[in-house]
Amino acid sequence: MYRTNKKILEILIFVLAAALFTGATSFFVRNLPFYGIIVIASVSYILVRLLYEYGLQRIQRFLYEWYFVKGESRELGLFVDRLRFCFTISDLIRAFREILETRLDSTVLFVDMTKRYLIYNSSSLIGMDQYNFQELVRHYDNWKNGIYFFDDHLDLVSSSKKARGFFMVVNNLHCYVYMRYLRNMDPDIFPQIYTEFTNFLKRNETIEKMYAIAAVSKEWSMIAETQKAFLPKKLPEIQGLQLASYFKPLVNVSGDYFDVLPIDEYRTLLLLGDVSGKGLAAALIMGIVVNTIRIMEKKDDLELVIRTVDSAIKGMRLEDKYTVMFVGIIDTREMKLTYVNASMADPLIISETRAGRQIRRLGSTCSVIGILDLDEVGVETVPLLKGDVLLMASDGVSEVSNEAGEMLGDTDKWIDFILEQSKAPAQEFVGALSNLVIEHAGGMKLRDDVTILVAKIQE
């Protein structure tokens, strides 16, 4: 019902928006010259487009709350929200107990089918029944990934309205849920449960992999290799954008990270951040941040991105760990950058204007992430021009010091260099900037990781 009603209301909003655009344009263009008609039509289109997007967001939020927050499916909606912030098997088991078992009177069996091993089972008659476990193994030993429904006899049924329970399969892991009230739930909640369950397993795998390397081998070089796997090996090719990056950790294990994630044909998410401290804890946080954003469906909701990352870091329960981060979305169709700067060293936009090349600083709009309460997340939007260059860099770039103790970002050559070298293609600019960092340090050792990400709007 949720999906059907959502589609119906989306169509109605589109029809209303089209009618409003047609009516408004027809009313205002009477007796106007051609150029006046063009102006009125353009303004009407922009206003109606904004109203359409606003109305669509409000309707989608209303329907979601109606079905999954206030409706009969609200408890499963709570389980979906809880899954988003589970990072360990212990977190998952708490979610089973506190929501599925306590609130929904359900029985859960979480099984590793390869080992025939019960990772978790509820302390109910069904959960403790060894015969029931053997029947599940017999029925569903080898099964494709997905979510399925079964009846009282453990036979598959096509609809949740006829089901006694459901089970999820992700490779060798199966999760079975017997639920008395399952038939009353909105069917659209189950794909959401499966998506978040899959995302949880990816997060948990990330954490277990890095802990296992640290605990068993103690080889920091192996941890570093695992960490690098979370960074893009090659930047994607994006139409209308030149992209280039540089990453040099101070030691094997770095707290810096970056990523480039296409959202659609025109919008691209850019990410660069720095975790406090060094070592395994910083590497874990870095992996969680990158992985959390990659698996998010609504990457275009930057406030949600920031708050999800904040909850993910806090869920790790690592003392005094936080991250600064810049996350922005470049839209090459609308020619704009929407961003949140969570206390990152100011990214720069370099533009060619009639008065010459100029620099715009993108100041902080949010506090550090993962340690403080986030009261407000400021999302800002700035216009872009053809040829504009967005420079993101960790503080290991601007704060590198020479023998006199002078930081690169405080020198006159810093601004002059940026203005001049940013005219070059993105890759050449990044190469020149990384060389400048080493040149400025001279004989001094670098004291921090150096990470650079550049995006240039093609002319």
Q: Residue 272 maps to which CATH number?
A: 3.60.40.10
Question: Which H or E run contains 353?
Answer: strand 348-353
In tens digits, the chain (459 residues) has pLDDT values of 545 655 665 676 666 766 665 666 666 556 666 656 666 666 666 766 666 676 667 666 665 555 444 445 788 888 988 888 888 888 899 999 999 998 888 999 999 988 888 899 888 878 787 878 888 888 888 889 999 999 888 888 988 888 889 999 999 999 999 988 788 788 888 998 999 999 999 888 877 766 665 554 455 566 666 666 778 989 999 999 999 999 988 766 678 899 999 999 999 999 999 998 777 777 788 888 998 999 888 899 999 999 999 988 888 777 778 999 999 999 999 999 999 999 998 899 999 988 889 999 999 999 999 988 888 899 999 999 999 999 999 988 988 888 878 899 888 889 999 999 999 999 999 999 999 998 888 877 777 888 999 999 998
Question: Residue 383: its pLDDT value, please?
Answer: 96
Say if 432 falls within a structural domain. Answer: yes
Signed CA dihedral, 45, 49, 51, 52: sign only: positive
Residues 64 and 79 in one domain: no
Residue 279 sits in the same domain as residue 342: yes
232 and 122 inside one domain: no
In this structure, the answer to whether residues 62 and 139 fall within a common structural domain is no
Q: Does any domain span residue 427? A: yes
In a domain? residue 175: yes
**CA atoms of 57 and 352, how far apart (whole Å):** 36
The range of the structural domain enclosing residue 410 comes to: 219-457
148 assigned to some structural domain: yes
* Domains: count for the chain: 3
Domain shared by 436 and 338, yes or no? yes
Name the strand (E) or helix (H) holding 448.
none
Tokens at 209, concatenated: 């992999």
Q: Coil, helix or strand for 143?
A: coil
Same domain flag for 45 and 79: no
User: Would residue 211 count as lying in a domain?
Assistant: no
> For residues 453 and 370, what is the distance between their CA atoms, to the nearest angstrom?
23
Report the C-alpha gap between 147 and 165 in whole angstroms. Answer: 11
Residue 81 in domain: yes
What per-residue confidence (pLDDT) applies to 3? 56
β-pair type (165-170, 146-150): antiparallel
Looking at 52, 69, 86, the residue that finishes a domain is 69
- Report d(CA 329, CA 303) in Å as an integer: 12
Distances (CA, A) of 294 to 202, 263, 269: 11, 10, 10
pLDDT value at position 42? 66
Q: Tell me the whole-structure pTM to 2 decimals.
A: 0.64
Q: Specify whether 169 is located in the same domain as 224.
A: no
**CB neighbours of residue 192 within 10 Å:** 21
Return the bridge partners of 275, or none. Answer: 323
Per the listing, tokens 């029985």 go with 107
> What's residue 314's pLDDT?
87
DSSP secondary structure string for all residues of 217-276: I--HHHHHHHHHTTS-SSPPP-TTEEEEEEEE-SSSS-SEEEEEEE-SSSEEEEEEEEES
Q: Both tokens of residue 319?
A: 């003392």
> Which pLDDT belongs to residue 318?
77
43 in a structural domain: yes
Question: H/E element holding 168?
Answer: strand 165-170
394 and 440 both lie in a single domain: yes
Question: Which of 179, 195, 211 finishes a domain?
Answer: 195
Q: Are residues 320 and 174 in the same domain?
A: no
Q: How many helices (H) and strands (E) does the chain have?
A: 13, 16
**Contacts (Cβ under 8 Å, ≥6 apart) of 211:** 284
**Cα–Cα distance, 222 to 420 (Å, whole number):** 40
Query: What is the reported pLDDT for 312?
Result: 87
Do the Cβ atoms of 255 and 285 come closer than 8 Å? yes
Same domain, 53 and 128: no
Would you state the pLDDT for residue 451? 93
Residue-level pLDDT at 39: 61
CB atoms within 10 A of CB 87: 21
Regarding whether 64 and 30 lie in a shared domain, the answer is yes
In a domain, 213, yes or no: no
CA separation for the pair 97, 76 (Å, rounded)? 13
**In b/e form, how buried is each residue of 436-455, taking b as 16+ CB within 10 angstroms?**
bbeebbeeeeeebbbbbbbb
Residue with tokens 């088991």: 93
State whether 318 and 264 are in the same domain.
yes
Q: What is the pLDDT of residue 226?
A: 63
d(CA 263, CA 277): 31
Q: Please say which residue of 195, 230, 247 terminates a domain.
A: 195
What does the block give as tokens for 274? 């720095």
